[in-house]
Copies of this chain bind each other. A is one copy, B any other.
Amino acid sequence: MTEKGEEGPDVPSLERRETRPGRHVGDRYVRIVRPTGSGLRGHGGRYVATEESMAHTGLFGRAWDRGLRFLIGRRLESEAESEERVGVGTGLPMLASDNVSSSAYATEEAMRVLAFAGGAALALTMPIAIAVCVVLAVVIVSESRVIRAYPNGGGSYIVAKDNHGVLPGLVAASALLIDYVLTVAVSSAAGVAAISSFVPAVHDHRVLWSLGLIALLTVGNLRGIREAGVIFAAPTYVYVLSLLGLIGYGLFRIASGDMPVAVLPRDAFQTEGIEPLTALLVLRAFASGSVGLTGSEAIANGVPNFKPPESRNAVITLVWMGSIFATLFLGITYLATRIGIAPDQFEFETVNSMLTRSLVGDGTLFYYIVQISTAIILLLAANTGFSGFPRLASVLADDRFMPRQFAFRGERLAFSFGIIALALMSAAVLAAFHGSVTELVPLYTIGVFVAFTLSQSGLVRRWWRLRNPGWRLSMAINTFGTIVTGTVLVVVAYTKFLYGAWMVLLVMPILVGLLFAINHHYRTVHDALLLERPDEPIPVLKPPVVLIPVARLDRATLQAVAFARSISPTVRAVHIASTAQSAEEFARRWRRWTTEVPLDVIESPYRSLLQPLLKYIERIDERDDRPITVVLAEFVPRNWWEWILHSQTALRLKLSLLFRPNTIVIDIPYHTEDTGHGVAPRGPEDSSQ
C-alpha cells in the first residue's frame, strides 16, 4: 500500500478547508506550508508547534503565564541548548567554588570538636588541617586519573557502574544525591552565618534566611543560569584574593612582631574542657575538618565543559583548586590558632569573622568585603548542588532508575523537576537541623567519601582490565587513592556515627532499594507493553458492547445514545432507581421514547448508584467476551464552582472503572453553553457532506 492510499475517504485532513468542501483531493499527503494563527506550522503530516501554541488561555492561565515569564523568563526551544565551553580562568570559579568555599567553615568545624577538650587542644587544629590537605592532595592526583579515563565526564555513578556494576553504581549515585542535598543545606547555612556574624538579628531567624537563599537559587536555576561564567567568576576571585590578602597581612604582622589581639566569642567553650583529649576526639576533629574535601569531584564531572584540550585544562584547574583551597585553609587555621581565636558555642559569629576582625578591626571596609564575598561564594557553592543533582537525576531517569519526570527539560531547558525536588529536600533538611552548619556537617562528608572510594576502586579495576600504556602508575595512584579515601570514610562513619552519620548510612541503602524498585517497575511495564514484532498486525475487533447508565431522559442522554449507536449496534441503557415505583415510571417513559435501545432498570433500596452499577457491569462482562464500553453522559457546567451543585456520579464511576480491567470509558460531555444542542444534534442530512 502506498502512502497515497493510507487514508480512507472519510479522513479529514488539516487542509480540507483549502479545497472546495465536498471535493476529494487526490493526494492528501501533499500538504502546503500554511502559517496559521493556531500555533502549528508544517506540512506533509509533519507539524511544528510554535511558541504561540504554548500560551495558556483564560484569566488564570494568562496570569500564571505572565508570572512565570517574569520569574523564569521566556520559553526556550530545545535547540537553544548549547554547551558553553570554558577555559581555566572561567572554569576555576565555576567548578571550584564548592570546594574552595569550604575554607569558610572547615577550620571552625575542626576547632569546635577540639574545643570539647579545652582551649589548649585547639593547637591541634593545625596538624589536622595539614592532614586534610594531604588527603586532598591524594584525592587530586587520583581525580586527575579519573579525568584522563573519562574525558566525557567521570561522575562517580558512571565510573562505579562502568567498572563495578550496577549496584555499586547506584550506591555511588545515592551517596551523591544525598550529598548534593547537603551541599545546598550546609552552604546556605554557612552563607547565612557569614552575614549573621555582623548582623546578629539574622541569627535569630537563620532558618528563614537560609530558606530564602534556597528559594532564590531555585528560581535562578529554573531560569537556567546561563550567564554563569561572569556571575561565578567575580565573587570567587574577590573571595580568594581578599582572604589571601588577609592571610598575607596576618603573617606579616606576626612576623613583624605586631601580634594582633584576638577577638573572643560571645559564648566561648569552657577553657578547661568537658571531654578528655583522646585519639578518638582528634579523629572526630579530623572528620569534621575533612568537609574541606567536599566539592572536589566537581571538576572530574565537568570535563566536557572545558575548551580543548579538555582533559589538560581540567587537570590544570583541579591543581589550581587544590592549591587555592590548601593555601586558604592552612593560612586561616594557622592564624586562628596562633592569634588564639576560639569558636563561638552558639554559632553567633564564625571563626573567620573573628579572625578578620582581629586582624583588620571591626567595621572596616575590608571586613565587610571578606564577609560578603564569603556569603556569595557559599551561595555559589550551594548552586553547584543545583546543577549537580538535577543532572545526575536526569542521567538516572534516562537509565530508568528514577521517575522519568526527572529527565524532562522544563520551559527554560532546565531539569525543573530535579531542581524543585532538590529545593524541597534541602529546605526540609535545613529546617530539621535548625540551619546550623555544625549540626549538618557530620552528615555531609560520608556521601562524598563513599563516592570517592567507589570511583577510585572502580578505576583500579579499569586499569587492571585495560592495561593501557602507563597502567601500572595509574593503578598505583588509584589504589593509594582508594585506600586513603576508604580510610577517611571509615574514620568519618565511625567517629560521626552517633552525631548524625547513622542517618545517612540508613537512608543510603533505602535510596538504593528505591532506585532498584523504580527500575524494576519500569522494566516490568516495558516488557508488558513490548510488541512481539515491529509489524505486529492490528487485531480486528467486533464493535464493543456499549452500556449507557442514564439518570434522566434529557438532551445529554439523547446525545449519549446517539453517539453510542454511531459506534456500535449493541447498545444497552441502564437506570438505577431508588424505589420500585420510580423504576416502573422510568421504564414506562423510556419505552415511550424509544424501543430501539433496550433498558435495564435496577432498583437500589440502599440508594447507592455506584455499587449496583458496578455489579451490573460485572454481570454483563461475565456474559460477553467483548470489552465492556461504558458511555457516560457527563454534564459540564460553565463554571468550575457549579460543579459542586452536581453530584459527581460520573466522575466517581469513572474512577471506579479505571481500575477495572477490560473496561473502556467514553465520556460524552454535555456543555450548557453549546448553542442549544451539544454534540449530537446533527441529523442524517449532515452525513452527505
List CB contacts (< 8 Å) of A584-619 with chain B. 587, 589, 591-608, 611-612, 615-616, 618-619
Contact with B along A611-648 (1 / 0, CB 8 A): 11001101110111111000000111100001011110
Q: Is the CB of A664 within 8 A of B664?
A: no
- Closest CB in chain B relative to A687 CB, distance in Å: 5
Q: A544 at the A/B interface (Cβ < 8 Å)?
A: yes
Q: Among B76, B541, B555, point to the contact of A562 (Cβ < 8 A).
A: B541
Given A78-B605, A611-B54, A666-B666; A530-B558 close (CB under 8 Å):
no
Which of A518, A646, A679 is packed against the most chain B CB atoms within 10 Å? A679
Q: Beta-carbon contacts of A529-570 to B below 8 Å, as 1s and 0s?
A: 111001110111111110000001111101001110111111
Asked whether B636 lies within 8 Å of A539 as measured between CB atoms, the reply is: no
**Contact A539-B616, Cβ < 8 Å, known A49-B604, A567-B567:** no
Q: How far is the CA of A10 from the CA of B542 in the complex (A)?
A: 10
A12 to B645, CA, bound (A): 36
Q: How long is the Cα–Cα vector from A154 to B601 in the complex, in angstroms?
A: 37
State the copy count for this chain.
Answer: 2
Closest to A532 in B: B555
User: Distance (Å) between the CB of A466 and the closest chain B CB?
Assistant: 33
A40 nearest CB neighbor, chain B only: B615
CB pair B531 A554 closer than 8 Å:
yes
Instruction: Decide: B567 and A46 in contact? CB cutoff 8 A.
Output: no
Q: Are A47 and B524 in contact (CB under 8 A)?
A: no
Known A562-B539, A607-B78, A623-B16: A11·B572 in contact at CB below 8 Å: yes
Given contacts A3-B595, A54-B606, A535-B592, contact A46 B583 (CB under 8 A): yes
* A623 in complex: contacting residue of B14, B522, B600, B607, CB < 8 Å: B14
Contact call B524/A672, Cβ cutoff below 8 A: yes
Indicate which residue in B518, B566, B636, B684 contacts A543 across the interface (CB closer than 8 Å): B566
Q: Which of A404-412, A430-438, A471-479 binds B?
A: A404-412
B570 lies within 8 A of A616 (CB): no
Chain A positions 633-689 with a Cβ under 8 Å from a chain B Cβ: 634-637, 642, 644-647, 654, 658-674, 676, 678-684, 686-687, 689
Is the pair A403, B684 in contact by a Cβ cutoff of 8 Å?
Answer: no
Nearest opposing residue in chain B for A526, CB measure: B554
| Separation of A522 and B571 alpha carbons in the complex (Å) | 30
Contact, CB under 8 Å: A49 / B620: no
A60 to B: closest C-beta gap in Å: 13
Cβ of B539 and Cβ of A680 under 8 Å apart? yes
Q: Which of B8, B16, B568 meets A569, CB within 8 Å?
A: B8
- A624 contacts B16, CB within 8 Å? yes
Decide if B45 touches A539 in the complex (CB within 8 Å): no
Closest B residue, CB atoms, query A645: B403
Q: Which residues of B contact A522 (CB under 8 A)?
A: 645
Give every chain B residue within 8 A of A620 (Cβ-Cβ): 12, 14
- At the interface, yes or no: A1 with Cβ under 8 Å from chain B? yes
What is the 8 Å Cβ interface bit string for chain A, positions 388-428, against chain B (1 contact, 0 not)? 00000000000000011100111100000000000000000
Among B8, B518, B563, contact of A544 (Cβ-Cβ < 8 Å): B563
Chain B residues closer than 8 Å to A604, beta-carbon distance: 48-49
Given contacts A531-B555, A601-B46, contact A661 B673 (CB under 8 A): yes
B521 and A642: CB pair below 8 A?
yes
**Is A270 on the interface with B (CB-CB < 8 A)?**
no
Q: Are A38 and B567 in contact (CB under 8 A)?
A: no
Residues of B within 8 A of A16 (CB): 623-624
Complex CA–CA separation, A683 to B634 (angstroms)? 32
Tell which of A5, A670, A671 has the most Cβ of chain B within 10 Å: A671
Interface residue? A51 (CB, 8 A): yes
The answer to whether B659 touches A636 (Cβ under 8 A) is yes
- The answer to whether A606 touches B13 (Cβ under 8 A) is no
Given A554-B529, A611-B53, A625-B686, CB of A535 within 8 Å of CB of B46:
no
A578 contacts B by Cβ under 8 Å: yes
- Let me know if A75 is at the binding interface, CB within 8 A: yes
Contact of A47 among B544, B572, B601 (CB under 8 A): B601
The 6 sampled A-B contact pairs (Cβ below 8 Å) are: A39-B612, A46-B601, A49-B606, A49-B611, A539-B562, A541-B565
5 closest A-B pairs by CB:
A49-B612, A567-B567, A12-B624, A529-B554, A541-B566
